[in-house]
Amino acid sequence: MKQVSIEERAVNLAHYIIDTKDTVRGAAAKFGVSKSTVHKDVSQRLIHINYALAIEVRKILDENKAERHLRGGRATKLKYELCNKRMKNVT
């Protein structure tokens, strides 16, 4: 497997997040790195590498942050709907 430089990884992560509008967690899973690494790459390192790209990524990350309470509520709702469905099938 080819070793990618930190700068290349930061740019690749930025393009991935912009193209897919994925979360930091999703990008971390896709690239096989930690959430902390993704966040540092796109929030701190990218500013010095490509300022315009960093601004675009920041917009996506801010959108995701503003929507996370909605995603969490949706996930909880689905979890309990599934639990209730299983309980009905048991009885």
More confident residue, 13 or 80: 13
> Burial letters for 81-90: b for 16+ Cβ neighbours within 10 Å, e otherwise?
eeeeeeeeee
Mean pLDDT (the chain) is 88
- Amino acid 81: pLDDT: 80
- Among 49, 52, 63, 67, smallest CA distance to 9 is for 49
Residue 2 confidence (pLDDT): 67
Helix 6-20 vs helix 24-31: angle between axes, to the nearest 10 degrees? 130
More confidently predicted of 80 and 1: 80
pLDDT score recorded for residue 67: 77
Give me the pLDDT at residue 47, please: 95
Query: What is the pLDDT at residue 58?
Result: 95
Mean pLDDT, to the nearest integer, of 9-32? 95
